[in-house]
Structure 1
Amino acid sequence: MTGNIREGIIDVHAHWLPHDLLSLPPGNTFGGMSDRGGKMFLGEVELSFPTKAMTDIATIVADTRQAGIGVRVISAPPFAFPVHEPSRADEYIGSYNDQLAHAVAGSDGMLLGLGLVRLDDADAARREMTRLQGMAGVVGVAVPPVVDGKSFGNGVMRDVLRVAVELDLSVLLHPMQLPRPEWKDHYLVNLIGNPVETTTAAASVLLGGVMEELPDLRICFVHGGGCSPALLGRWTHGWHARPDVRHRSERSPAESFAKLYFDTIVYDPDVLELLVATASADRILCGSDYPFDMAQPDPAGFLLANGIDARTLEANGRAFVGSPSTAQGP
């Protein structure tokens, strides 16, 4: 539920986690997060940002202003997705969402939030998403694109998308860096793994007929949609050529692609040009991935310097979060 929000470019992709939930959900495979002398660690791995950039709302607000962003939409880091032992994660999810609502309420309109939700139980998801709908400043959910080898084409994960439409909530898909042996070096689990996870979910949504069933779904694929802009022609060819590709969708991937939102964390102007040429102009969203080391260093400046104007970015961001109205902010 948004109401009026501040003017300015909206960064839809940034992360926050309250200090008392750094242990991460039950069953997590990372060993939890921790603050060691003001530095953030994931297990024994030092991350590249100070703890306050992840946990302290005043710091996030100050950094948002410095970046020239009007509104920043915060969500949990992917390590905090409750996917490992979800049946034991209700308390963690509820605590995160309650603290998220409190955090955005105290940000003087500069922050909005995306909550956590279970993806294994449709009834539990509905209950929590109904709670989120009633929280001022919380506009939707952040979810991983792939869980246990499944994506959003069917099952509970598709049910979550149905509930999101019913409750007028936005959905942001964020990869989890799923490990594979061939990605163990050079941070390939992120450099390749993140785009591949996102691409898998985009294909699942497009070829699974999700946008045909749910035309009002507001769903954003981060990191420029991964590889999907470059693969859209291949998917479309396959859809025309093979019955097994198109058996669950009546529209070609290229047609449904126009309904998807994408953030702009692509780093390269040529890749941004491909995204802009492939996606709808009104579905391009500013993203930063704050505060991680893979963040777009100047998210607004990168877009403005490459031909996307501030009014378009603001209008697109407002449409995604479900708040077309404007409010003056200091």
Structure 2
Amino acid sequence: MATDRRLVVDLHCHALSLDVERLVADRPEKKAEPQLQLRAQGEASTVHNATVMLPKAMPKLTDIELRLRDMDAMGVDIQVVSPSPNQYYYWADEELAREVVRVQNEHIAALAGGHPRRVVHDPDVLRRLIEVVGASQVVIGTDYPFDMGAYDVQALVDAVPGLSDAERARILGLNAAELLGLNAVETQRT
């Protein structure tokens, strides 16, 4: 982490779990994806994605050492990581969806666990981020309208150990209200 400049936190990053890909590889819905992409995006875009974009992005989505080198090159100290959108698998039944989410969470937790001061994913690691930068510097980001699974931001913040009610309030909305120049009382839902 840099010490001669401000802390830089990237609030919206993704990782791809190869274990999830193996989990869904034999599903008919997964096997149908190339044809669906071709129909939705057209041939030129599909070919470009398969031959240029994905080969370039895949190592960055799967290799933690490359991610850390890129973070250093970009001047990013911490990334908040969520699953890659191409692994949401909205077609999955409830049982498979639970397994996909479990495997994704374990994968991202392993990334974060190996580098807890650089990659954030769960309440305990979020607690460490708060210890580093302070509760007044943390805001919520949900990636709406893109569903990140069964995600309850209040439950996540409530699960962070050792937070006061005032710190929870700051993280859940007061920090963002200040950042945006809003009157928190006037803009709160009733």
Scaled to the shorter chain, the TM-score interval is 0.5 to 0.7
Is this contact kept in 2: 1:15–1:75, CA < 8 A? Answer: yes
Relative to 1, partners in 2 of residues 1:79 and 1:24: Cα closer, same or farther, differing over 3 Å?
Answer: farther
CA separation of 1:98/1:76 partners in 2, compared to 1, >3 Å: closer, same or farther? same
| Structure 2 partner of 1:165 | 154
| Deviation of the 1:142 alpha carbon | 5.5
The amino acid that maps onto 1:77 is S
Where do residues 80-99 of structure 1 align in structure 2 (5 Å cutoff)?
80-87=87-94, 88-99=96-107
Relative to its length, the structure with more helix (as a share) is 2
Deviations 1:116-135 (A, max 9, x none): xxxxxxxxxxxxxxxx54xx
SS in 2 for 1:89: helix
> Paired residue for 1:61?
68
Query: What residue ranges of structure 2 are gaps of 5+ in the alignment?
Result: 1-5, 35-45, 128-139, 160-167, 182-190
Measure the CA separation in 2 of the matches of 1:80 and 1:112.
19
Task: Please say if 1:282 is aligned against 2:179.
Answer: yes
Equivalents in 1 of 2:17, 2:146: separation in Å? 25
Question: 1:145 — aligned with what?
Answer: 145
Q: Is the 8 Å Cα contact of residues 10 and 78 (structure 2) preserved in structure 1?
A: yes
Equivalences for residues 187-226 of structure 1 within 5 A = 216=169
Q: 1:259 to 1:141 in 2, by over 3 A?
A: closer
CA offset at residue 19 of structure 1? 2.6
8 Å Cα contact 1:10/1:71 also seen in 2 = yes
User: How many residues align structurally?
Assistant: 136
- Is 1:46 aligned with 2:46? no
CA separation in 2, counterparts of 1:110 and 1:70? 6
Percent identity over the alignment is: 15
Structure 2 CA distance for aligned equivalents of residues 283 and 169 of structure 1: 24
Shift of 1:64: 0.3
In the TM superposition, 1:239-250 aligns within 5 A as none
In 2, the alpha carbon distance for the partners of 1:79 and 1:109 equals 27
- Structure 1 residue 146: Cα displacement: 5.7
Kindly report which structure 2 residues correspond to 1:1-330, keeping only aligned pairs within 5 A, or say none: 8-22=7-21, 27=29, 30-31=33-34, 45-48=50-53, 49-87=56-94, 88-107=96-115, 109-113=117-121, 133=123, 136-137=124-125, 145=145, 163-168=152-157, 216=169, 280=177, 282=179
- In the alignment, the residues of structure 2 paired with residue 57 and residue 84 of structure 1 have an alpha-carbon distance, to the nearest angstrom, of 28
CA distance, structure 1, for counterparts of residue 155 and residue 16 of structure 2: 27
1:85 Cα deviation (Å)? 2.1
CA–CA distance in structure 2, aligned partners of residues 146 and 59 of structure 1? 26
Q: For the structure 1 residues 111 and 84, does the alpha-carbon distance in structure 2 shift closer, same or farther, using more than 3 Å as the test?
A: same
Over 3 Å counting, the alpha-carbon distance change for 1:50 and 1:78 in structure 2 is closer
| Matches of 2:102 and 2:108, distance apart in 1 | 10
Shift in alpha-carbon separation, 1:281–1:260, aligned structure 2, 3 A: closer
Quick one: distance in 1 between partners of 2:70 and 2:100?
A: 27
Q: Is the 8 A contact 1:11 1:72 kept in 2?
A: yes
SS of 2:157's partner is: coil
Name the structure with the higher strand share.
Answer: 1
- Unaligned stretches of 5+ in structure 1? 1-6, 32-40, 114-131, 148-156, 171-214, 220-257, 262-279, 285-330
Shift of 1:69: 1.0
Distance 2:20 2:141 in 1: 18
> 1:101·1:138 contact (CA, 8 Å) conserved in 2?
no
Q: Does structure 2 conserve the Cα–Cα contact (< 8 Å) formed by 1:104 and 1:111?
A: yes
> Cα RMSD (Å) of the superposition?
4.1
How far apart are residue 16 of structure 1 and its match?
Answer: 0.9
Whole-angstrom CA distance in 2 between matches of 1:53 and 1:96: 16
One-letter code of the match for 1:90? R
How far off is 1:168 after superposition?
Answer: 1.0
Distance 1:101 1:80, change over 3 A: same
